[in-house]
Chains A and B, each alone.
Chain A
Amino acid sequence: MAIMVFLVSPLVPVIASSFSGSNIVIFPPEGFSLRWYPNIPANYWRSLGVSLIVAGLTAIFVCFLGVPATFALVRGNYPGRNFVRALLMSPLQVPLVVSGLIFMQFYFSLTYIIKMSLLGSLTGLTIAHVILGLPFMISTLGPVLERFRVGLEEVALSLGANRWRTIKRVTLPVISPGIFSGAMYAFISSFSDVAATLFLVSSKTMTLPVEIFYAMEFDISPSVLAISTLVILLSAAVVKLIYRFTGADIKGEVQRLG
Chain B
Amino acid sequence: MRWGLLFIPAMVVFGIFYLIPLIMFVLSSFHPDLGLGRSGATYTIENFRHLFTDRFYLLVLWNTAKLSFYIVIISLILGFPVAYFLARSSQKVMRVLIPILVLSSFVTLVIRAMGWVVLLGNNGLVNKTLLLLGAISDPIQLLNHPRGVVLGMVHYVLPLMILAIMSVIQTIPRSLEQAAENLGASRLHVYTRVIFPLSFNGILATSLMVFSLNMGVFASPLLLGGGKVYVFPILIYQEIMAKTHYAMGAAMALALILLVLFINILSFAIGSKYQAPRRRAW
Contact = CB atoms under 8 A, between A and B. Distances in A.
Given A98-B236, A236-B103, A253-B163, A131 B13 contact: yes
Taking residues whose C-beta sits less than 8 angstroms from the other chain, chain A's interface range is 35 or more
Contacts of B215: 95
B32 interface: no
Given A69-B6, A94-B257, A163-B1, A11 B107 contact: yes
Contact of B158 (A3, A81, A91, A254): A3
Contact of A87 (B19, B101, B107, B166): B19
B118 A17 contact: yes
27 contacts: A3-B81, A7-B155, A10-B115, A11-B103, A11-B107, A11-B115, A14-B115, A25-B118, A69-B10, A71-B6, A76-B4, A95-B253, A95-B256, A98-B256, A101-B25, A102-B25, A106-B20, A127-B17, A130-B13, A163-B1, A195-B233, A198-B219, A209-B108, A209-B110, A216-B117, A231-B108, A235-B106
Nearest to A212: B110
A105 to B, nearest CB: 6
Contacts of A3: 78-79, 81-82, 158, 162
Contact of B9 (A64, A90, A228, A231): A64
B9 A248 contact: no
Interface string B108-149: 111111111111000111000000000000000000000000
Interface stretch (B47-55, B92-100, B188-196, B272-280): B92-100
Interface stretch (A34-42, A170-178, A186-194): A186-194
Interface in A85-104: 87-88, 90-91, 93-98, 101-103
Interface of B: 1-7, 9-11, 13-14, 17-22, 24-25, 28, 78-79, 81-82, 91, 94-95, 97-119, 123-125, 155, 158-160, 162-164, 166-167, 209-210, 212-213, 215-219, 223, 233, 236-237, 240, 246, 249-250, 253, 256-257
A257 B100 contact: no
Contacts of B11: 69, 84, 87-88
A56 interface: no
A204 interface: no
Contacts of B17: 103, 106, 127-128, 131
Given A6-B155, A106-B20, A239 B218 contact: no
A232 B185 CA distance: 46
B125 A13 contact: yes
A26 interface: yes
Contacts of A6: 155, 158
A195 B108 contact: no
A13 B13 CA distance: 42
B10 A191 contact: no
B118 to A, nearest CB: 4
Contacts of A243: 95, 99
A57 B215 CA distance: 30
B14 A88 contact: yes
Shortest 10 CB-CB contacts between residues of A and residues of B: A95-B216, A10-B115, A106-B21, A257-B160, A72-B7, A76-B3, A68-B6, A69-B10, A192-B108, A72-B6
Contacts of B210: 258
Given A192-B106, A248-B98, A212 B7 contact: no
Contacts of A77: 3
Contacts of A9: 115, 119
A122 to B, nearest CB: 15
Contacts of A220: 114, 117-118
Given A3-B79, A26-B118, 19 more contacts: A7-B101, A7-B158, A8-B104, A10-B115, A11-B103, A68-B6, A69-B6, A87-B18, A93-B257, A94-B216, A96-B216, A97-B237, A98-B256, A102-B21, A102-B25, A134-B14, A216-B223, A253-B98, A258-B209
